[in-house]
Structure 1
Amino acid sequence: MKMNFLKSAYGAMVIAGLLAVSCNRDEDARTGTDAEEEQAVESVSVGEDASDDALEIAYQGENQLTSTGGRVNTMCATVTDDKVNKIITIDFGDGCTGPYGRVRKGKIFIAYSSEVGDSIANRIITFGNYFVNNKGVTGTIELRDISVNAENHVQSTKRLKDLTVTFPSGQNIVFNGDRTREWISGYGDDDMSNNIYRITGSVSGVATNGRSFTQEIVEPIIADWSCAAQGNFARVSGVVEMTKLNGYSVRKRTVDYGDGTCDNIITITTFRRTFKITVEN
C-alpha cells in the first residue's frame, strides 16, 4: 500500500515536471514569436523612411539643376540632365555625407515627362547601386497625378513598385502601394529643409521575416524635413496601423510617430505591449 502510494506520488511529480517544461517551452515559443512580430512592425516603419528620403533628394537635385541651368556639383553629388532621354542623374559616387547628415552612395535616376522644373509633370525614380546610411534601395517610386488641391497645396500620388529596402544584416522589406503626398509647407522655397508633407494611403509588401503585410495610415503622417535637417526623424506625427501580417493572428498593430516634436522616437503597440524605439537615421 505504501509502495503504491510512493509510486503514485512519484508519477505525479514526473507529470508535473513534464508539464512545467512543456509550459516553459510554450512560453519561450510565444516570446520568440512576439519578438519576431515586433521586429517586423519596426523594420517596416524604419524602411519606409528610405523612400521618403529618396523622393526628397530627387526633388532637391532637380530643383538645384533648374536653378543653375546645367551640370552642377551639389548635395555632395554630381547632378546631370540627359535632355534627349529626359533623365536626371544624381550621382553620389563612392559615398559622401550630404543633406540631413546622411551618407549616400550610388545613383538616383529621375525620368521626367515634359521638362526639368515642370512641377506638375510625372516622374519615375529608380536607383543604381544606391545606399543611404548603409541601407540599399532598389525598385521604383512613381510621382503621378500632381495637382493643386482645394487648400492650394501641391499634392501627388507616390506609387511604390517593388521598392526594396535592404538592411546591413541582409534582410529586406518590399513595398507596393500608393500614398497621397500633400506638400503643406515650403513649396517654391529654395531652402529644402522647410518642406513639410502630409501623407495618407496604404501599402502592402513583404517584411524582413518573409511575411506579407498590409499597412494603412489611420492618422495622417506629417513629415517635417526641418527636423531631418537637425539629424532627427522626418516623420514627426501620425499613426500607421498594420492589421494584416501573414502567419500571425488578425489584430491591430500600430506605429505612432509622435506629437509633432522633433526627435527620433516612435511608439509601437502590438497585442502584447507598447514600447518606444529610437530610430537611427
Structure 2
Amino acid sequence: MNFLKSTYGAMMLVGLLAVSCNRDEDMQQGTDTEEEQAVETSSEGEDASDDALEMAYQGEHQLSVSGGRVKNTLCATVTNDKVNKIITIDFGDGCVGPYGRERKGKIFIAYSSEVGDSIANRIITFGDFFVNNKGVTGTIELRDVSINADGNLQSTKRLKDLTITFPNGQKVVYNGSRTREWLAGAGDDDPTNNKYKITGTVTGESTTGRSFTQEIVEPIIADWSCAAQGNFARVSGVVEMTKLNGYSVRKRTVYYGDGECDNVITITTFRRTYTITVDN
C-alpha cells in the first residue's frame, strides 16, 4: 500500500512538473516582433502617465490661483471638493488642450493638506480618461515630497497597476517607483517651462502577459517646452529592460535622445538597433 502511494505520488509530481515545463515552454515561444513590441509599448506608455501628472499639476495650480470652479486653457472644468479633499479635472467628451493633445474623461486628485501645498502627498486616479486615444487607468501616488539638496522639489512617483491601453488594443501595466525631480518651472504660470529629471525602476506586464523589469540607467529628462512644440516630452535618458518573461536575461535599451526636441527614440534589442517615431 505504501509502495502504491509512493508510486502514485511520484507520478503526480512528474505530471505537475510536465505541466509546469509545458507552460514555461509556451512562454519561451516569443518572437523577435513580440519582444520589440514589449520594449516599444513599455517605452511609449509612460508618456501618458507623464501627461496625466502634468495635467494634474496644471489643474491644481490654476485652481489655487483662481479659486472655486474654473474653465481654463486646460480645456477642462476643474472643481474642488473641499470636504473630501478631491480635485476633479473633467475634460468631458473630448477636446484639444495643452500641447495639442486631445483628452477626455476625468482625472481625480486626492490631496492630504490643501490645494497648492507643494509638499503635500497626492493620489491620482482616473475616470474613463484618454489622452490622444490612449486609455489610462490605475493609480499614481506622489509621496515623500521634499526640497532636495539642490533646492528642487522632489517626490516619489509610485505606480500601482497603472495601465496604458493603446488604440490598437495593446497595453502595458506598470508597478513600482520613480524619483521625480522638478528641475525648472516650479510655481511658474507658464507650464511649458516645466522640466523634470526621472530615475528609478518599475516592473510591468505586456499585452501578451509577459512580465518585465525596466530600469532607468541614465536619468530621463522630460522637457515640456518640447511637448509644447508638438514633440515628445522625454528628450534624453536611457532605459534598460533586462528581464522579459520567456526570453533570456539580456539588455534591451531605449535611448530617448541627447536633449533635442523630437519624437524619435532609439531601441536596441538582442537582434538589432532601430528608431521609432512616437505618436504622442
State the TM-score, normalizing by the size of structure 1: 0.88
- Greater RCO (CA < 8 Å, at least 6 residues apart): 2
The equivalent position to 1:59 in structure 2, one of 40, 57, 60, is 57
Percent identity between the two aligned chains: 81
Task: Identify the residue that residue 249 of structure 2 maps to in structure 1.
Answer: 250
Task: Identify the residue that residue 138 of structure 2 maps to in structure 1.
Answer: 139
Helix, strand or coil at the partner of 1:121: coil
Q: Deviations over 1:240-270 (max 9, x none)?
A: 0000000111100000000000000000000
1:134, 1:70 → 2: CA distance?
30
The answer to whether 1:262 aligns with 2:261 is yes
1:90, 1:49 → 2: CA distance?
19
1:128, 1:39 → 2: CA distance?
27
Task: Identify the residue that residue 149 of structure 1 maps to in structure 2.
Answer: 148
Which runs of structure 1 show a deviation greater than 6 angstroms over 4 or more consecutive aligned residues? Answer: none
Task: Identify the residue that residue 112 of structure 1 maps to in structure 2.
Answer: 111
1:243, 1:118 → 2: CA distance?
38
Letter in 2 for 1:136: G
- 1:141-220 to structure 2, matched below 5 A, reads 141-220=140-219
2:117, 2:239 → 1: CA distance?
32
Structure 1 pair 123–257 and aligned structure 2 pair: CA distance change class (3 A) = same
The equivalent position to 1:38 in structure 2, one of 36, 39, 43, is 36
- Could you tell me which runs of 5 or more consecutive residues in structure 2 were left unpaired when the two chains were aligned: 1-27
Helix, strand or coil at the partner of 1:59: helix
1:244, 1:63 → 2: CA distance?
39
2:209, 2:100 → 1: CA distance?
31
- Could you tell me which runs of 5 or more consecutive residues in structure 1 were left unpaired when the two chains were aligned: 1-29
Pairwise CA RMSD = 1.2
Helix, strand or coil at the partner of 2:260: coil
State the TM-score, normalizing by the size of structure 2: 0.89
Q: Deviations over 1:93-149 (max 9, x none)?
A: 000000110000000000000100000000000000110000110000000000000
Helix, strand or coil at the partner of 1:201: strand
Helix, strand or coil at the partner of 2:31: helix
Q: Measure how far apart 1:35 and its partner are.
A: 1.2
The answer to whether 1:86 aligns with 2:85 is yes
Contact 1:157 1:179 survives alignment (8 Å):
yes
Task: Identify the residue that residue 71 of structure 1 maps to in structure 2.
Answer: 69
Contact 2:30 2:247 survives alignment (8 Å):
no
Contact 1:43 1:208 survives alignment (8 Å):
no
The answer to whether 1:225 aligns with 2:224 is yes
164-173 or 235-244, larger mean C-alpha shift: 164-173
Q: Measure how far apart 1:208 and its partner are.
A: 2.0
Task: Identify the residue that residue 9 of structure 1 maps to in structure 2.
Answer: none
Q: Measure how far apart 1:210 and its partner are.
A: 1.5
